[in-house]
Amino acid sequence: MDVKRAGVLGFCMGVRRAVDLAEAELGRTPLADVYSCGPLIHNPQTLASLEKRGLVILDEDSPVPGARAAPAIIIRAHGVSPGVEADLRSRGFRIVDATCPRVKVSQNTARALAEEGRCVFIAGEKNHAEVKGIAGYVDAGLPGGKDGGCVIVGNAAEAGQAASSLFRRHPGAKTALIAQTTISEEEYAAIAEALKKHFPGMEVKNTICGATRERQDALRKLCGEVDAVVVAGSRESANTRRLLSIARDCGKPAWLAESAADLPPAEPPPFKKYGVVGLCAGASTPDDVVEEIFRALENIPNDGVYSYNAYSD
């Protein structure tokens, strides 16, 4: 099977940095003393390899400190709220902050907007670690220790409802919008438009990560050159799932594969009918996983004559 890679794919700067920090810490500290607060990144193979070297992944909501004195804890690339960080410090952990610098910008922006007395809308996934961390920065920035200063919206419909509800209660509210770093530009624009119907003066910050955008743009370009798409990466990874939906929005049959074992079988068709398959990968997918899937795809025999566009079921 012919396989074409996206122009940009795999580890982004923030994920690479988090893995490098963890490896450095594992290399210099007795193994059992290195923890991570929640999964360091969203990739099962990388986490398994770090765990084999001694990393212990704690539940981010109720971390249990290790028995030894001053254990190191690595804060994941997605960041944590100021409350969680303070809790870790109070438990005697030595913090190794692997929060992606771009997520740090979002956290500081959220705090500054709250300090201006704004209700901060966050466009993103309610239960995603990055969004929960940023929401904690809004709370930390609220004057007078009030809480509840942020509203998380997942799409334009939710944004419309949330804005209408806030407008009924506080028509003169000062508002702002920031984005989870991995949201698509189109979705963010639609959410901003829905909110601005009620709050036209809303401050909109573009906190979408360039690395995410580059991978999404490269995939859109790839979709014009292939018959089907495989997205390499974890189901837990928001930016990987986003790539999958972009490929499908581009009209391509698309699959998500955490490893070569997830690829659809060559037999029975339809997988083998595709002449050229595109391969892209989320920002937390390591090179060796991309390579493994690339080689497995190359080894799938195909009919060689059909292209998806010409084939009709």
Determine which residue in the list 40, 103, 204, 223 makes contact with ligand SF4, applying CB under 6 A.
Answer: 103
Q: Does 131 bind ligand SF4 (CB under 6 A)?
A: no
Q: Which range of residues in 23-31, 100-108, 135-143, 225-233 is near ligand SF4 by CB under 6 A?
A: 100-108
- Residues sharing a CB contact under 8 Å with residue 4, sequence separation 6 or more, in sequence order: 222, 225, 226, 276, 277, 278, 279
Residues 245-284 as x/- pattern, contact with ligand SF4 by CB under 6 A: --------------------------------------x-
Determine which residue in the list 3, 8, 37, 100 makes contact with ligand SF4, applying CB under 6 A.
Answer: 100
Q: What is the nearest approach in angstroms of ligand SF4 to the Cβ of residue 10?
A: 11
As a whole number of angstroms, the distance between CA 152 and CA 178 comes to 10
Q: Which range of residues in 22-30, 107-115, 163-171, 208-216 is near ligand SF4 by CB under 6 A?
A: 208-216
Please give the positions annotated as active site: 130
Beta bridge mates, 203: 176
Task: Give the E-state strand segments of the chain in sequence order.
Answer: 2-5, 34-37, 56-58, 72-75, 94-97, 119-123, 150-153, 175-179, 203-204, 228-232, 254-257, 276-281
As a whole number of angstroms, the distance between CA 146 and CA 84 comes to 18
Determine which residue in the list 13, 57, 95, 112 makes contact with ligand SF4, applying CB under 6 A.
Answer: 13
Q: Does 12 bind ligand SF4 (CB under 6 A)?
A: yes
As a whole number of angstroms, the distance between CA 32 and CA 67 comes to 9
| Residues of this chain that bind ligand SF4 (CB under 6 A) | 12-15, 77, 100, 102-103, 181, 209, 211-212, 239, 283
